[in-house]
């Protein structure tokens, strides 16, 4: 029997992936760029065991036995086994690719609340499978087949997922573009506005956007393409204020195309908008003080929760402002809060 345990971090997109050119292979309509967070606070953990004595594949997610019929898990598993079997023919003496697997995955943060749990989960699963079956080489294109955004969590730091041109997805891969400390002493604040499950999942939401939003045509053909290049330049030049502006603009454009979807995909709540507005006021103040390197930026995925990037020098101050404006609910209200009943964060 062989057993491997891996952890994988969450990544937060600063230029968003929203819309596919191929649903089955999970190929995006545009390139995206993300920051992979450190694993200390938020990560997925997966243990995989393979053995010639196992009679079937089995899967547990957060302690609950799950069906392995999920086509995305199957696609990842099939691709890892295909690569492992190729390795065997290249001289490996073990027949491990044919052994059944037992998979045990868990997240230490809310699943499906727009906090990129599937990204960390699939990146972790694919990496662990790759290790246990002895598969080498780029695994981002396998992780991509679990969940698009997962391919970016295979790498640390700033990562670009290239949409690629090939029909078979072979060039739709994630590559690191800068190390984690590229913008030194950066802190991330996650404001959990609501930890419940989102109404429309990303997969369904982006499909509806591609089918119905005319604004999406503009995003794909004009704005996101040029924003990617501006973001690459800002990263190369370590231009933090421009990085902030582009991150905010892309989050807002993604939510604009979500609202332009029919029926609309509404992810941000009044509280989400209030958080954004507070941060704009904060940035205005930093501009007046000629302290633009202390600007902060926010981004929202397919949910109401804000992800804020702040230089360490101002992180405590920003956190204090947020807690003052949006006091957390009393501990006993947590259950209701998790169900999303109170309107306050
Ligand atoms: C808003 O990767 O969850 O977080 O590929 O269908 O699994 P699927 O979608 P998913 O979408 C993530 C969307 C996003 C933006 C991003 O992470 O780039």
Q: What is the CA radius of gyration of the chain?
A: 21
Q: Give the model's pLDDT for residue 335.
A: 44
Q: Which atom of ligand 1 is nearest to the CA of 17?
A: 18
Is there a contact between 11 and 158 (Cβ–Cβ < 8 Å)?
A: no
Using the mean position of ligand 1's atoms as its centre, give its distance from the Cα of residue 135 in Å. 25
CA 339, CA 326: separation in Å to the nearest integer? 18
Q: Which atom of ligand 1 is nearest to the CA of 26?
A: 5
Using the mean position of ligand 1's atoms as its centre, give its distance from the Cα of residue 45 in Å. 20
Encode burial over 212-221: b for 16+ CB neighbours within 10 A, e otherwise. Answer: ebebbeebbe
Q: Decide yes or no: CATH 3.30.70.890 for domain 186-342.
A: yes
Topology, domain 2-178: Ribosomal Protein S5; domain 2 (3.30.230)
Q: Give the model's pLDDT for residue 93.
A: 57
Secondary structure class of 52 (helix, strand, coil): coil
Using the mean position of ligand 1's atoms as its centre, give its distance from the Cα of residue 119 in Å. 8
Which residue's CA is the closest to the ligand 1 atom numbered 12? Answer: 149
Using the mean position of ligand 1's atoms as its centre, give its distance from the Cα of residue 230 in Å. 22
The tokens 């204090």 sit on which residue? Answer: 320
Per 3-state DSSP, what percentage of the chain is helix, strand, and coil (rounded to 5)?
45, 20, 35
Q: Give the model's pLDDT for residue 137.
A: 92
Is there a contact between 185 and 38 (Cβ–Cβ < 8 Å)?
A: no
- Helices assigned H by DSSP within the chain: 71-89, 117-132, 140-143, 202-212, 214-218, 224-236, 240-259, 270-288, 312-325, 334-339
Secondary structure class of 172 (helix, strand, coil): coil
Q: Give the model's pLDDT for residue 344.
A: 31
Other CB atoms within 10 Å distance of the CB of residue 2: 15
Q: Which atom of ligand 1 is nearest to the CA of 16?
A: 18
Give residues with Cβ within 8 angstroms of 288, minimum separation 6. none
Q: Which atom of ligand 1 is nearest to the CA of 11?
A: 17
Q: Which of 259, 227, 251, 254 is nearest to 308 (CA)?
A: 251
**Ramachandran class of 238: left when φ > 0, alpha when ψ lies in -120 to 50, beta otherwise:** left
Q: Which of 134, 133, 173, 132 is nearest to 154 (CA)?
A: 173
The residue whose CB lies within 8 Å of the most ligand 1 atoms, and thus the one to mutate among 8, 19, 144, 148, is: 148
CA 92, CA 27: separation in Å to the nearest integer? 32
Which residue's CA is the closest to the ligand 1 atom numbered 11? Answer: 202
Using the mean position of ligand 1's atoms as its centre, give its distance from the Cα of residue 95 in Å. 35
Residues having CB within 6 Å of any atom of ligand 1 = 13, 16-18, 26, 32, 116, 118-119, 147-149, 202-203, 301-302
Q: Give, for 58, the enclosing helix (H) or strand (E).
A: strand 58-61
User: Block means of pLDDT (10 residues each) for the chain, length 345 residues?
Assistant: 94 97 97 92 92 95 89 94 81 79 86 66 96 94 97 97 96 97 94 79 96 98 97 98 98 98 96 97 97 98 94 97 90 43 32
In the chain, domain spans: 2-178, 186-342
Q: Give the model's pLDDT for residue 193.
A: 86
Q: Which atom of ligand 1 is nearest to the CA of 146?
A: 7
Q: Give the model's pLDDT for residue 238.
A: 98
ipTM reported for the complex, 2 dp: 0.99
Using the mean position of ligand 1's atoms as its centre, give its distance from the Cα of residue 28 in Å. 10
Q: Give the model's pLDDT for residue 336.
A: 39
């Amino acid at each position: 029997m062989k057993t491997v345990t891996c952890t994988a971090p969450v990544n937060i997109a600063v230029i968003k992936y929203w819309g596919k050119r191929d649903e089955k292979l999970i190929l995006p309509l545009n390139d995206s760029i993300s920051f992979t967070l450190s694993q200390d606070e938020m990560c997925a953990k997966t243990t995989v065991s393979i053995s010639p004595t196992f009679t079937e594949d089995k899967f547990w997610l957060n302690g609950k036995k799950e069906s392995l019929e999920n086509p995305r898990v199957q696609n990842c598993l099939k691709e890892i086994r295909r690569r492992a079997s190729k390795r065997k023919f290249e001289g490996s003496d073990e027949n491990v690719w044919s052994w059944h697997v037992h998979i045990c995955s868990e997240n230490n943060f809310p699943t499906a609340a727009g906090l990129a749990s599937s990204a960390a989960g699939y990146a972790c699963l694919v990496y662990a499978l790759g290790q246990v079956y002895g598969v080498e080489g780029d695994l981002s294109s396998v992780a991509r087949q679990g969940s698009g955004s997962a391919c970016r969590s295979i790498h640390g730091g700033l990562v670009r997922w290239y949409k690629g041109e090939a029909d078979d997805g072979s060039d739709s891969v994630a590559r690191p573009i800068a190390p984690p400390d590229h913008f030194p002493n950066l802190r991330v604040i996650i404001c959990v506005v609501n930890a419940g499950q989102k109404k429309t999942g990303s997969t369904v939401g982006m499909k509806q956007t591609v089918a119905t939003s005319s604004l999406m045509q503009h995003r794909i053909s004009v704005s996101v393409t040029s924003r990617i290049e501006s973001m690459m330049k800002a990263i190369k030049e370590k231009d933090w204020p421009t990085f902030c502006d582009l991150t905010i603009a892309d989050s807002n454009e993604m939510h604009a195309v979500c609202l332009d979807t029919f029926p609309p995909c509404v992810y941000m709540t009044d509280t989400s908008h209030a958080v954004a507005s507070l941060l704009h006021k904060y940035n205005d103040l930093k501009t007046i003080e000629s302290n633009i390197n202390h600007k902060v930026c926010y981004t929202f995925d397919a949910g109401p929760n804000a992800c804020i990037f702040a230089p360490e020098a101002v992180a405590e101050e920003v956190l204090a402002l947020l807690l003052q404006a949006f006091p957390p609910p009393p501990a006993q209200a947590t259950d209701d809060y998790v169900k999303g009943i109170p309107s306050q964060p």
